[in-house]
Chain A
Amino acid sequence: MPDGGATEVVSGDAAEQALAYLAEMSPDLRGAAILDSAGAVLAAAGHPDRWREDAAALLDVADRAGGEPVEQVHVATEQGEVFVVRSAGLAAVAVTERFALASLMFFDMRSVLRDLAATAGRRDENRRISGEIGPSAPGSGEG
């Protein structure tokens, strides 16, 4: 991920909720997935394995195309549109109908990822305080 990875572990439930929220916010959405920094699917509408493989393939091509990691991808085809956003150590992939409003999609996806990372950070901090997990390594946080 270009912006470093969130060390906090995002739960599948939280990711599912985030996905449901994104679907509610975006009437043009056909399907979406949320991936962690390693490319594993946290939540997906449909087949998680295929989302993981195809999202990884798209990000790989996109990263190679410009010689540096991309932050956002927008591909508009005759069949639909694909949006990818990387933020806070997570990635969101969304497929929409044609002519979806790109700026709104990017805004919604970015805010969902930011909220998800913040929720995970708070939960991690609570567990740290209650002694369930050890202290975080210096400089390992998202910042």
Chain B
Amino acid sequence: MPTKPHRVLLDRVSGYAEEAAAFMRRRRVARRPFARLYYPNGRSSDHAADSVAGGELFVAAGRLIEVAGKKPKP
């Protein structure tokens, strides 16, 4: 007996949602801190945390994060 059409659809959507959730989990685990600068001409540059500029960018960004504090509770 063939599967009911709506079940096929549900299975497919659930499959996509599981794939997406797994992708997001992997991304959260694998993603490393980065500093990226964009210029008016469309150029962009990445600066590693162990470079001089990258280190300074992370320190300056850390101060801003400190100023902003935690997200206010709704």
* Co-assembled chains A and B: yes
B-side contacts of A73, CB under 8 Å: 35-38, 57
Contact, CB under 8 Å: B57 / A47 = no
Interface of A, secondary structure class, is mixed
CB distance from A54 to the nearest CB of B (A): 4
Count of B interface residues, CB-CB < 8 Å: 30
Distance in angstroms between the alpha carbons of A48 and B11 in the assembled complex: 52
CA of A67 to CA of B26, assembled, Å: 35
B5 at interface by CB-CB < 8 Å: no
Say whether B61 contacts A45, CB under 8 Å: no
**Residue of B27, B40, B67 ringed by the most chain A CB atoms within 10 A:** B67
Measured CB to CB, the closest approach of chain B to A21, in angstroms, equals 16
Least CB distance, A7 to chain B, in whole angstroms: 20
> Residue on A with the closest CB to B37?
A70
Q: Which of A48-89 contact B (CB under 8 A)?
A: 50-51, 54-55, 57-58, 61-62, 64-66, 68-80, 82
Q: Kindly state the separation between the CA atoms of A77 and B36 in the bound complex, as whole angstroms.
A: 12
When A30-B70, A54-B67 are in contact, do A77 and B61 touch as well, CB less than 8 Å? yes
Q: Which residues of A have CB within 8 Å of B7?
A: none
Contacts of B28 in A (CB 8 A): 99
Q: Could you tell me if B68 and A30 are in contact, using CB atoms closer than 8 angstroms?
A: yes
Taking the closest CB of chain B, its distance from the CB of A59, in whole angstroms, is 9
- Tell me if B63 counts as interface (CB < 8 A to partner A): yes
Asked if residues A58 and B60 are in contact (CB atoms below 8 Å), the reply is yes
Residues on A lying within 8 angstroms of B by beta carbon are 2-3, 28-32, 45-47, 50-51, 54-55, 57-58, 61-62, 64-66, 68-80, 82, 93, 95, 97, 99
Shortest 9 CB-CB contacts between residues of A and residues of B: A31-B68, A95-B68, A65-B53, A75-B61, A58-B60, A72-B38, A82-B61, A30-B68, A54-B63
